[in-house]
Amino acid sequence: DAKTTQPPSMDCAEGRAANLPCNHSTISGNEYVYWYRQIHSQGPQYIIHGLKNNETNEMASLIITEDRKSSTLILPHATLRDTAVYYCIVRVVGAGSYQLTFGKGTKLSVIP
């Protein structure tokens, strides 16, 4: 699976949009971009995933650049409960490819 690069930490004011970047310059054509988050001392939680089109769900939006070498996770109105480590994971989706390889992620701190 391709590797990803994320800033180690970010701050965001409560109520503002949190934009978390991820670089995946070596991504292959059949690799998806996944985002998970881990609140302190809990298991990871799935947020969103995409291949090349932008995606939106009730939690967040995912913006993938046209060349697919980077993406941005957007939390439109961050709350204190969004304070967590956010992981950007790139992986092939196919038979037997269900493992998730976690990098260091970005520690997002939402500030009151």
Q: Please tell me whether residue 80 adopts helix, strand or coil conformation.
A: helix
> Which one, 94 or 112, has the nearer CB to other proteins?
94
Choose which of 41, 53, 67, 81 interacts with other proteins (CB under 8 A). 41
Q: How far apart are CA 35 and CA 15, in angstroms?
A: 21
> Which one, 78 or 89, has the nearer CB to other proteins?
89
Choose which of 10, 21, 23, 49 interacts with other proteins (CB under 8 A). 49
Q: How far apart are CA 5 and CA 82, in angstroms?
A: 21
How many residues lie near other proteins (CB under 8 A)? 22
Strand duo 70-75 + 61-64: pairing: antiparallel
In the region spanning residues 63 to 102, those forming contacts with other proteins, defined by CB under 8 A, are 87, 91, 93, 97-102
Choose which of 30, 45, 54, 56 interacts with other proteins (CB under 8 A). 45
Quote the least distance from Cβ 7 to other proteins, whole Å: 15
| Residue 98 C-beta-side C-alpha neighbours within 13 Å | 2
Q: State CA 93 to chain mean position distance.
A: 17
Q: How far apart are CA 99 and CA 1, in angstroms?
A: 10
Give the interface with other proteins as residue ranges (CB under 8 A).
32, 34, 38, 41-46, 49, 87, 91, 93, 97-105
